């Protein structure tokens, strides 16, 4: 049986009195790709941010690699070394070069040898075709380039799970393809376990092993990827898919 990387049970999240997530249950196995789909404000981003402790939750349990997560800052800090995350706004550190952005966490947090990480970083930069920018500063790069570096930066930590939160949403259309291609490769070649929030339906259809369709903070349906796009189980999901032109 496949190894379970992450499991969420009965998760409730509140902002003040307002309930943002209702009784969320799902799990993801090693090598699987889960995409979170749904209209704006459905709680996709909130959910994915909860999965690495950037948002707290009131009730429910998260298991990472079979172990129950005790949601305190120290435990999350340790877990984040195994859960990589890339955000919509890329957020490279402007005060550091591309290479130093990549080296920072592996050397300072994981205490790995700098030269060894550097070699690995260069190989990763090769993969995203940005090796020549190793010594550039983020301000010298385009949005798409920054986002590819942000992915490399997360990968350099050797994560067990990658979270992608609308990583193409603020990119120019022609930049989107390059970023998505890298994510697709991560799935096909590296069998990386990934949870992806996206509005790119074509991409989601190609990459998703499983789709969680959310609305108003609830998971309306959980359907294998291909089936979701051909035969969604709920009317609401069918309506949502019809409203997206792709």
User: Closest distance between another protein and the C-beta of residue 130, in Å?
Assistant: 18
**CA distance linking residue 99 with residue 135, whole number of Å:** 6
Q: Applying CB under 8 A, which residues contact another protein?
A: 52-54, 77-78, 80-81, 84-85, 87, 89, 91-96, 104-105, 108-110, 139, 150, 153-154, 157
Q: 89 vs 233, which CB is nearer to another protein? A: 89
Q: 105 vs 237, which CB is nearer to another protein? A: 105
User: Closest distance between another protein and the C-beta of residue 58, in Å?
Assistant: 18
**CA distance linking residue 64 with residue 66, whole number of Å:** 5
User: Closest distance between another protein and the C-beta of residue 52, in Å?
Assistant: 6
Residue 203: other Cβ atoms inside 10 A: 21
Residue 86, strand partner residues? 164
User: Closest distance between another protein and the C-beta of residue 239, in Å?
Assistant: 33
In the sheet with 59-64, reading across from the earlier edge strand, the strands are 18-29, 4-15, 59-64, 67-68
Q: 153 vs 210, which CB is nearer to another protein? A: 153
Tokens 């050397």 sit on residue: 107
**CA distance linking residue 148 with residue 109, whole number of Å:** 22
Q: 166 vs 215, which CB is nearer to another protein? A: 166
């Amino acid at each position: 049986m496949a190894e379970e990387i992450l499991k969420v049970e009965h998760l409730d999240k509140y902002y003040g009195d307002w309930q943002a997530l209702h009784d969320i249950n799902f799990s993801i196995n090693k090598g699987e790709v889960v995409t979170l789909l749904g209209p704006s404000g459905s709680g996709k981003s909130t959910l994915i941010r909860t999965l690495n402790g950037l948002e707290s939750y009131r009730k429910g349990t998260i298991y990472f690699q079979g172990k129950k997560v005790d949601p305190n800052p120290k435990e999350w800090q340790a877990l984040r070394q195994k859960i990589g995350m890339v955000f919509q706004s890329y957020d490279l550190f402007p005060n550091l070069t591309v290479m130093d952005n990549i080296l920072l966490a592996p050397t300072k947090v994981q205490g790995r040898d700098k030269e060894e990480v550097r070699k690995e970083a260069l190989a990763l930069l090769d993969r995203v075709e940005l090796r020549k920018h190793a010594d550039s500063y983020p301000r010298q790069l385009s949005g798409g380039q920054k986002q590819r570096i942000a992915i490399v930066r997360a990968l350099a930590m050797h994560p067990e799970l990658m979270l992608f939160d609308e990583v193409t949403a603020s990119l120019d259309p022609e930049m989107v393809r390059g970023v998505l291609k890298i994510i697709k490769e991560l799935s096909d070649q590296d069998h990386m376990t990934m949870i992806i929030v996206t509005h790119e339906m074509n991409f989601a259809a190609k990459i998703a092993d499983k789709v969680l369709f959310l609305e108003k903070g609830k998971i309306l349906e959980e359907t294998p990827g291909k089936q979701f796009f051909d035969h969604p189980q709920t009317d609401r999901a069918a309506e949502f898919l019809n409203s997206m032109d792709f």
